[in-house]
């Protein structure tokens, strides 16, 4: 059963299957309707209660053996490390201590809940040897469950959005698990969402079980029993602030509850990326930002596990600052952490400004850079996403590197609709002299690209007929830049691509949905020829003594 070999077949089959029936927390292969991951929590915890009155099974911390019996013993007891250079650079007076969860055996804080959820399910008789574990995940929980399944002998299927990194996919596959990818744009309650698809998969596989991190009490309990205890023990119960990113909400709920019991004055700070709705007050979540590149934190629903009453303050995070600080943690502190660690640190550097010398701010670093080698660690990827200007860093002397794309004399491009035939597209490109065309829907939103060479090659090879629709042959992956991108960014992109699309966000009111939606429309296509022509034209103007209209005079050229 290798879902990854044919993800489109499996996903389409699941999308067309009828909804099923069951209950959660944790879902067995009994029939079930879609169970929303944001249903109201029934947890009875309140500040001042004791674990003696808890309905849950609490696990006491124990000493680790000198030789571990298996890999799962290498989960937990992660170090708390003091930052030295970054707090000094930001004029922070208090101690900034980072909890290095990327040093768990599977590389993230989610290893903790993966083991705990499986052991709770085993102890309650919900799963047995030979069962298949299924989990909708943004990657790290999937890795943790796949790792535990490999050690314990379970089969495993992870369902995750296409946005998540290829490194996560490869790691999960290496652990012997199967993967199903779902559209990133699908809302949590849509038939195509990773949560809904996981529930449908579980219905079709006998002796299967969804551990369900969004509603499983073991998610928060593990952090209440272990992570929080480790922090309090390391700090001798003297901690003034704890900052962490929020996704399922288990980490902040478990840590927040335990710490509030032991250190009532400690501030619990939650970090939520723009595009997510977890932060409070609700006004913080208002944004025109169409989405974000951050993985692992933020949601478009409020998970059942999340107890927002323990959070004293929320900060919203944005990609550029987050990835910059994640890189600084690597470069200046030697901590090989992931992007959302930068989000947590960004919030901590703001929140901790009011803390005094001798006070302590703990920051949770949830995962490591292994998952993002081709993402925020890559200058090329960062430049493509307009998060850094690689050109200005490496070729600052080039007069044009920091100029904006708006300097170019862009013309509105010719586009084509998805329902056009391949032959029509070829004839059109021949007639108009284009090598490639953007494919847009009736509203103007970009769906992909077609090229003359690709179309003719596929027709000649017999892979498609000339009457096939453009929608069947377009490729959805292409380089996008905006008018605010620099020519330096453009030159970096054009090292690996023949062209780049210039796009703009357009807000559109949808009466039937009573909402305003943001979509991307294409406003231009640029190639190496456009860039070279611009540079040579402006240099020629300078040689003739004409002032450069879009930037500083080109002294030395």
Residues annotated as catalytic are 110
The tokens for 539 are 């240099």
91: CB partners within 8 A, 6+ apart: 353
CA distance 396 to 409: 23
CA distance 507 to 134: 38
DSSP code of residue 352: G
- Tell which residue, 95, 94, 90, 91, has the closest CA to residue 80: 95
β-pair type (436-440, 446-451):
antiparallel
The tokens for 35 are 């169970």
* 455-459, long-range: CB < 8 A, 24+ apart: 455/422, 455/425, 455/426, 456/426, 458/422, 459/422, 459/426
In 183-233, where do the E strands start and end?
208-210
CA atoms within 13 A of residue 315's CA, in its CB half-sphere: 23
489: CB partners within 8 A, 6+ apart: 383, 384, 386, 389, 390, 391, 481
295: CB partners within 8 A, 6+ apart: 138, 139, 163, 164, 165, 338, 339, 340, 371, 372
CA atoms within 13 A of residue 198's CA, in its CB half-sphere: 33
Find how far residue 347's CA is from the centre of its chain: 18
């Amino acid at each position: 059963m290798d879902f990854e070999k044919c993800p489109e077949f499996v996903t389409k089959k699941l999308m067309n299957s009828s909804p099923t029936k069951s209950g959660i927390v944790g879902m067995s292969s009994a029939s079930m309707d879609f169970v929303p991951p944001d249903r109201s929590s029934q947890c009875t915890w309140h500040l001042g209660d004791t674990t003696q009155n808890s309905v849950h099974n609490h696990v006491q911390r124990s000493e680790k053996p000198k030789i571990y019996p298996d890999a799962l013993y290498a989960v937990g007891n992660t170090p708390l490390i003091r930052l030295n250079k970054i707090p000094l650079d930001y004029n922070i007076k208090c101690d900034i201590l980072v909890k290095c969860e990327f040093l768990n055996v599977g590389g993230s804080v989610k290893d903790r809940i993966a083991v705990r959820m499986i052991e709770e399910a085993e102890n309650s008789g919900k799963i047995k040897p030979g069962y298949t574990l299924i989990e909708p995940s943004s990657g790290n929980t999937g890795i943790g469950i796949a790792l535990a399944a490999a050690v314990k002998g379970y089969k495993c299927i992870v369902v995750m959005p296409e946005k998540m990194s290829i490194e996560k996919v490869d790691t999960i596959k290496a652990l012997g698990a199967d993967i199903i990818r779902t559209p990133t744009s699908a809302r949590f309650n849509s038939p195509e969402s990773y949560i809904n698809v996981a529930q449908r998969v579980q219905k079709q596989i006998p002796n299967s079980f969804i551990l369900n991190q969004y509603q499983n009490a073991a998610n928060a309990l593990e952090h209440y029993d272990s992570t929080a205890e480790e922090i309090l023990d390391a700090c001798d119960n003297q901690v003034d602030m704890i900052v962490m990113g929020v996704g399922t909400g288990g980490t902040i709920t478990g840590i927040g509850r335990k710490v509030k019991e032991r250190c009532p004055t400690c501030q619990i700070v939650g970090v939520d990326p723009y595009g997510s709705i977890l932060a409070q007050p609700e006004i913080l979540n208002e944004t025109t930002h169409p989405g974000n590149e951050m993985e692992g934190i933020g949601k478009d629903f409020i998970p059942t596990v999340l107890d927002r009453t323990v959070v004293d303050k929320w900060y919203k995070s944005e990609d550029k600052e987050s990835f910059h600080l994640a890189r600084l943690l690597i470069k200046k502190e030697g901590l090989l952490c992931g992007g959302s660690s930068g989000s947590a640190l960004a919030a901590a550097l703001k929140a901790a400004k009011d803390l005094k010398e001798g006070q302590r701010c703990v920051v949770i670093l949830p995962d490591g850079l292994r998952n993002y080698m081709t993402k925020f660690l890559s200058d090329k990827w960062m430049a493509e996403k307009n998060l850094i200007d690689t050109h200005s860093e490496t070729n600052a002397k080039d007069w044009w590197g920091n100029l904006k794309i708006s300097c170019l004399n862009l013309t509105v491009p010719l586009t084509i609709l998805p329902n056009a035939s391949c032959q029509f597209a070829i004839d059109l490109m021949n007639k108009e002299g284009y090598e490639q065309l953007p494919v847009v829907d009736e509203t103007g939103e970009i769906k992909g690209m077609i090229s003359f060479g690709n179309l003719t090659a596929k027709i000649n090879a017999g892979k498609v007929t000339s009457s096939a629709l453009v929608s069947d042959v377009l490729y959805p992956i292409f380089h996008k830049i905006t008018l605010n991108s620099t020519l330096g960014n453009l030159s970096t992109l054009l090292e690996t691509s023949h062209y780049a699309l210039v796009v703009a966000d357009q807000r559109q009111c949808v009466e039937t949905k009573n909402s305003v939606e943001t979509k991307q429309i294409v406003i231009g296509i640029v190639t190496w020829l456009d860039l070279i022509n611009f540079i040579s034209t402006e240099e020629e103007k300078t040689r003739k003594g004409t002032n450069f209209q879009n930037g500083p005079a080109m002294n030395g050229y």
